[in-house]
């Protein structure tokens, strides 16, 4: 029989979307408890009531630390782990100078395995329990990610990145091999344990029409898979796409033409959208992924989080390793807040925490399993120390409510603020 665990501390969960429903969409319990059994959340509630209801449970008391769902990172490139925080480039130069040379190293399965393990350990250290990642063109890079995720019990999404032009030789596949390799990897990994396969054309400039058509056909054959790519990250990228696909109405239309727009589609960045693109993305219920540290680090622009939320878009949050300059979703929330300020829209702390957990999980279509602190959900949890440094502690000590207490950690916190990370009920940090 599975052991029952009782975790005590402050608790936080969501009954709605704070962007629409305000802070009352979040439910905070100052002395709460989470009951875990068999890798799932069995119950939550007041600490004293849960103690009485589950007297047999093994108790871990996290004191005044905040227990919440583990962070969900909706767009990353795990192969860029070793080149994070590289200096001085915008998107196209970044790819040619840093990304492509590094990704060529993933032809070596041992190297892929080393980086995959390092990356997932960095996630756990930063309180992230689920992630959606691009791999490289090499099937071994996908095997490495899912093997490392399975070892740690993590819910991870990923896929072979497909490119058949405008990339170095050695990082190009073909329309047929992209289809064949991806189909084989779907059969090997999709739905096996907590792994989910994602059909992954890198972006329109690195795929021929033939490759996009092949991947659109593959997605139609496997509609339960996610599909991820990039959209309207930088203005010069948009101009490049227009020159490569002159028959298309706009950047999104390239993907639409080849069957790569739908409710399980994930579009990274989506900064410089036309009115037509915004309307079609919303009507398709596609996911938009906000990558704020990347957008500032590479100089891409300011994502319209508030406006797109008001229009009813599905939006997740992401570090975008390694164009993004941090592995931490705390730092990513802080950057999202700062970009919002530049757009004269201040995201409430409840909205930022929702975006990094339930919001991202919903965008990845796993919001019924992870991203919230509710009965029946998988027990992927993060425990935040709200006084992890002297600077944060002195500020949170003056707080009048949970939001004043947690906001300094969002703005100034790092891996030191992660008191514990649980994956499937197992404490990994």
Query: d(Cα 278, Cα 130) in Å, to the nearest integer?
Result: 27
Contacts of 399 (CB under 8 A, 6+ apart): 405
∠ CA 367-187-182, rounded to 5°: 90
**pLDDT in the model for residue 1:** 63
Of all residues in the chain, the percent with pLDDT exceeding 90 is 97
pLDDT tens-place string over residues 226-240: 999 999 999 999 999
pLDDT tens-place string over residues 353-371: 999 999 999 999 999 999 9
Position 284 confidence tier, pLDDT thresholds 50, 70, 90: very high
pLDDT tens-place string over residues 396-414: 999 999 999 999 999 999 9
The structure's pTM equals 0.98
**pLDDT in the model for residue 92:** 82
- Residue 172: CB atoms within 10 Å: 17
Average pLDDT, the chain: 97
**For the ranges 80-89, 287-296, 307-316, 416-425, which has the lowest average pLDDT?**
80-89
pLDDT tens-place string over residues 253-272: 999 999 999 999 999 999 99
- Say if residue 28's pLDDT is above 70: yes
**For the ranges 97-101, 207-211, 248-252, 272-276, which has the lowest average pLDDT?**
97-101
- Say if residue 386's pLDDT is above 90: yes
**Domains, the chain:** 4-69+371-409+416-427 (2.30.40.10), 71-327 (3.20.20.140)
């Amino acid at each position: 029989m599975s052991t029952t665990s009782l975790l005590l501390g402050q608790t936080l969960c969501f009954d709605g979307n704070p962007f629409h429903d305000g802070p009352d969409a979040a439910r905070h319990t100052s002395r709460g408890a989470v009951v875990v059994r068999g890798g799932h959340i069995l119950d939550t509630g007041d600490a004293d009531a849960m103690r009485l209801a589950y007297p047999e449970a093994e108790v871990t008391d996290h004191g005044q630390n905040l227990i919440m769902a583990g962070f969900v990172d909706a767009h990353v490139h795990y192969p860029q782990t070793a080149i994070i925080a590289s200096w001085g480039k915008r998107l196209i130069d970044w790819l040619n100078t840093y990304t492509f040379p590094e990704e060529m190293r993933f032809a070596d399965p041992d190297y892929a395995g080393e980086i995959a393990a390092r990356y997932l350990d960095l996630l756990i250290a930063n309180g992230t329990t689920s992630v959606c990642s691009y791999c490289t063109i090499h099937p071994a890079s996908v095997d490495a990610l899912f093997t490392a995720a399975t070892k740690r019990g993590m819910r991870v999404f990923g896929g072979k990145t497909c490119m058949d032009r405008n990339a170095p030789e050695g990082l190009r596949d073909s329309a047929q091999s992209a289809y064949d390799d991806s189909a084989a990897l779907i059969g090997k990994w999709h739905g096996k344990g907590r792994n989910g396969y994602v059909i992954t054309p890198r972006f329109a400039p690195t795929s021929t029409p033939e490759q996009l058509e092949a991947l659109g056909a593959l997605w139609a054959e496997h509609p339960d898979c996610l599909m991820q790519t990039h959209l309207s990250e930088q203005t010069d990228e948009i101009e490049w796409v227009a020159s490569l696909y002159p028959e298309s109405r706009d950047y999104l239309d390239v993907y639409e033409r080849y069957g790569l727009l739908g409710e399980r589609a994930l579009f990274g960045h989506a900064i410089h959208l036309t009115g037509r693109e915004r309307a079609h993305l919303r009507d398709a219920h596609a996911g938009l992924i906000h990558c704020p540290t990347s957008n500032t680090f590479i100089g891409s622009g300011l994502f319209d989080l508030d406006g797109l939320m008001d229009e009813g878009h599905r939006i997740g949050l992401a570090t975008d390793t390694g164009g993004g300059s941090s592995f931490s979703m705390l730092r990513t929330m802080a950057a999202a807040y700062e970009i919002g300020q530049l757009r004269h829209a201040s995201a409430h702390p409840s909205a930022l925490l929702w975006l990094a957990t339930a919001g991202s999980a919903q965008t990845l279509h796993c919001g019924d399993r992870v991203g919230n602190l509710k009965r029946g959900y998988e027990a992927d949890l993060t425990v935040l120390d709200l006084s992890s440094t002297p600077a944060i502690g002195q500020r949170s000590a003056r707080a009048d409510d949970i939001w004043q207490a947690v906001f300094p950690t969002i703005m100034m916190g790092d891996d030191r603020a992660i008191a514990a990370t649980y994956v499937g009920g197992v404490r990994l940090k």
